[in-house]
Each structure stands twice: as structure tokens, then as C-alpha cells.
């Protein structure tokens, strides 16, 4: 079987139902989204990891036969989720081109290794979703396990991290996906707006953001009749809504060699580098003063944290949010980081033994 190269085209678009439910629903969805000409790979889950038993847990092997049929009809490669070595064996038998490891599986090195053991010697393409919890070491570890068994075509799927509250079903924590790219350069990164957002509205916004962060593609859930879907009904798109959304996303280039552009960018970057240098120098001087405060407090047997003083600082800085044109969230994050480092430095001074 020919390996599906994730870099064949940017963006690479994967779509299809959350779950294969019936033969008709699977084939009809795949036929209609393939007809848009915008989809490169068809997806469907046939084993569904569900939080509680007794809900729909996937149709199993017969779903693979439906997907194989969809591949025959449309000529498009197919993708399914695998969570055990048995799943891998089944998927390979049915000629599945792309396997993906789900977020609930990436968290568990035993499961990832079990999958890898079944993959040894195969040239199938494997996508790894980020783990449920915001620990990118698990994500890195899963990639390394796949590499160790000789899988060459590996990609990453960013589907967000388990969240309680908040606007979305899962918290994207974009910085973690960016860090993952820095740690694993060269691996394609695909965004899964469906599982990040958890609703139909808002998918385009997240997809566009990923395109502007130079992601390599999207995986989006679609269904002939989303309201009647047996899983993830609130986030799947009809084939025609999928088409509208995919056409709306703007995929920009990472770089152009137009001299005016390069010159303008270089100029701004030089300014940023200069300001950054000043910022870090200021921070360094600020921490030196924190150490001096630590000495005075130590000599007078006074605690590091004085809640009143800290509360005043936070209030004063946040009140300037509008004037500085910096969001309160951003200011809070910076304040917290500075305060923690300051406490650590004072702690070193006060408790040096
Ligand atoms: C899915 O893609 O249908 C799925 C179960 O995703 P995740 O592992 O991201 O929850
Ligand atoms: Mn789903």
C-alpha cells in the first residue's frame, strides 16, 4: 500500500463523521464531502472511547468495511482512530491509510506502546492527537515510540486540552502546540477545531487561527444529518456547511521574497529585538532589587509575601490595561510570572543555608 504523504499538499483536509453509525450514513457523508473536491482524507471513528459505558461505543470492524467501501467509491484515502493493537491489526487488514491515536490514548504510554508494537514494519501514516492533559512530554513520548518502531510518516493533531468551564469544549492552549512544533520540527501539525470548540459556531474562527499559525491542515467532523448523530452531534457540519467553512479559511504563505516585504519585516524585527533586550535587562535589574528586599526582610525576620502590597500592585497595573492597550489577561499572566520569580529569588536569599 502506498503511504499517504501528509505533506503532499498544504492544507491537508481530513473530514468525515465522528462515528461510522450505519453503512448508509457513512457512505452518504463520504460521497457528499468528497464531491466538494476539498477533502483529501475521509475519517470516521469505529471504536469510540466514551466517558461512560452503555452509550454508543462504535460499530467496530463492520465500520472498517464501510470505510473501505467509501475509499473505493471516492478514490480518497481513509483514516480511523486506533486505541489498541487489535484495532491496528483490524485497520491494516482493511487497508486504512491513516491511523490516528486519540487524546485519551496519548495520555497512556502502555496503550501507545501496545499500538506501536502492532505497527512495527508497517508504512502506514499515523497522526497523534495531543493528550487530554496539558503535558506535552506525553505527546513527544508518543512520537518517539512511533519513530522507534520505524513509522516514518507521522503527524500531530491539536485538539485542545481537557477544560472545565471556558468558552470551548477543550482549551486550545495554543502555546503548547507551538512549543510542540518547536520540540518536534518537521512534523505536520493539523488542527481539530471540532473537538476544540465542541459546537458548530466558532469552528471557522479556530480553523483560521490555526492557518495563521502556519498549521498544515484541518480535521473537521461532518455528517449528513448532524442533529441526529450518535456522537458529537453539536459539533458536526453538514457537507454543505463544511464546504462553506473550508472555502472561507484563508491559507497564507509562511514567507515571500518580495524585497519590500523582507525589508519592512527586518526593520520591525530589529526594533522588537532591541525592545526585548531592554525588557530582559529591566527584569534582571528588578530581580536584583527583589534580592535586596529579601536581605532586608531576612534581617528583620519578616515574611516574603505581604498580601496587601501584592494586591495594590495587581490593582494598579490592571487599572492601566486600557491606557497601555494590553489585555487584563495578558497583564495578569506577566504579573504572576514576575511575582513568582521575585518570591523565588527572595526565598533563595532568606533561606540560604
Ligand atoms: C474523535 O476524533 O472523534 C475523537 C474521539 O477525538 P479526541 O481523541 O480528540 O477526543
Ligand atoms: Mn468526535
- Counting atoms of ligand 1 from 1, which one is nearest the CA of 219? 2
Query: What is residue 170's three-state secondary structure?
Result: strand
Do 15 and 222 touch, CB atoms closer than 8 A?
A: yes
Q: For the residues 164-193, what does the mean pLDDT come to?
A: 95
Residue 1 has pLDDT above 80, yes or no: no
Please give the DSSP secondary-structure letter assigned to residue 173. Answer: -
Q: Which three cell numbers stand for residue 96?
A: 486504512
Q: Which domains can be identified in the chain, with CATH numbers?
A: 12-248 (3.20.20.70), 259-350 (1.20.59.10)
pLDDT of 144 reads 98
**CA-CA-CA-CA torsion sign (192, 197, 203, 209):** negative
Percentage of the residues of the chain whose pLDDT score is greater than 70: 100
Cα–ligand 1 centroid distance for 103 (angstroms): 6
Cα–ligand 2 centroid distance for 79 (angstroms): 13
| Number of DSSP helices (H) and strands (E) in the chain, helices first | 14, 10
| Residue 339 pLDDT class (50, 70, 90 cuts) | very high
| Residue 308 pLDDT class (50, 70, 90 cuts) | confident
Cα–ligand 1 centroid distance for 81 (angstroms): 8
Q: Which three cell numbers stand for residue 40?
A: 483529501
pLDDT of 165 reads 86
> What is the C-alpha separation between 299 and 297, in angstroms, rounded?
5
Q: What is the pLDDT of residues 128-166, one digit of tens each?
A: 999 999 999 999 999 999 999 999 999 999 999 998 888
pTM: 0.88
Q: Which three cell numbers stand for residue 313?
A: 500592585
Do 190 and 156 touch, CB atoms closer than 8 A?
A: yes
> What is the C-alpha separation between 111 and 120, in angstroms, rounded?
15
> What is the C-alpha separation between 189 and 159, in angstroms, rounded?
11
Q: What is the pLDDT of residues 67-111, one digit of tens each?
A: 999 999 999 999 999 999 999 999 999 999 999 999 999 999 999
C-alpha angle 178/286/307, rounded to 5°? 90
pLDDT of 231 reads 94
pLDDT of 61 reads 96
Amino acid at each position: 500500500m502506498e503511504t499517504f504523504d501528509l505533506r503532499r499538499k498544504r492544507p491537508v483536509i481530513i473530514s468525515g463523521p465522528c462515528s461510522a453509525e450505519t453503512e448508509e450514513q457513512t457512505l452518504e457523508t463520504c460521497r457528499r464531502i468528497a464531491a466538494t473536491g476539498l477533502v483529501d482524507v475521509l475519517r470516521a471513528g469505529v471504536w469510540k472511547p466514551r466517558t461512560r459505558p452503555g452509550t454508543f461505543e462504535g460499530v467496530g470492524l463492520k465500520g472498517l468495511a464501510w470505510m473501505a467501501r467509501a475509499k473505493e467509491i471516492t478514490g480518497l484515502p481513509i483514516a480511523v482512530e486506533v486505541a489498541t493493537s487489535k484495532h491496528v491489526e483490524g485497520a491494516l487488514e482493511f487497508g486504512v491509510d491513516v491511523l490516528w491515536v486519540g487524546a485519551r490514548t496519548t495520555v497512556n504510554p502502555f496503550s501507545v506502546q501496545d499500538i506501536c508494537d502492532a505497527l512495527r514494519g508497517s508504512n502506514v501514516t499515523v497522526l497523534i492527537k495531543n493528550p487530554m492533559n496539558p503535558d506535552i512530554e506525553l505527546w513527544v513520548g508518543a512520537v518517539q515510540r512511533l519513530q522507534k518502531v520505524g513509522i516514518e510518516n507521522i503527524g500531530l493533531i491539536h485538539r485542545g486540552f481537557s477544560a472545565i468551564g471556558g468558552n470551548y469544549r477543550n482549551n486550545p492552549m495554543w502555546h503548547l502546540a507551538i512549543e510542540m512544533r518547536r520540540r518536534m520540527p518537521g512534523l505536520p501539525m493539523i488542527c481539530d477545531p471540532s473537538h476544540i470548540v465542541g459546537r458548530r459556531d466558532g469552528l471557522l474562527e479556530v480553523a483560521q487561527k490555526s492557518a495563521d499559525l502556519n498549521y498544515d491542515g484541518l480535521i473537521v467532523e461532518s455528517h449528513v444529518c448532524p442533529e441526529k448523530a450518535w456522537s458529537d452531534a453539536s459539533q458536526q457540519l453538514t457537507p454543505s456547511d463544511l464546504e462553506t467553512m473550508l472555502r472561507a479559511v484563508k491559507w497564507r504563505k509562511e514567507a515571500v521574497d518580495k524585497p519590500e516585504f523582507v525589508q519592512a519585516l527586518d526593520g520591525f524585527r530589529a526594533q522588537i529585538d532591541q525592545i526585548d533586550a531592554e525588557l530582559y535587562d529591566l527584569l534582571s535589574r528588578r530581580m536584583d532589587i527583589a534580592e535586596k528586599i529579601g536581605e532586608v526582610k531576612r534581617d528583620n525576620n519578616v515574611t516574603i509575601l505581604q498580601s496587601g502590597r501584592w494586591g495594590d500592585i495587581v490593582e494598579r497595573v490592571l487599572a492601566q490595561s486600557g491606557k497601555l492597550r494590553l489585555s487584563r489577561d495578558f497583564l495578569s499572566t506577566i504579573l504572576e510570572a514576575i511575582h513568582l520569580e521575585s518570591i523565588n529569588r527572595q526565598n533563595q536569599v532568606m533561606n540560604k543555608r
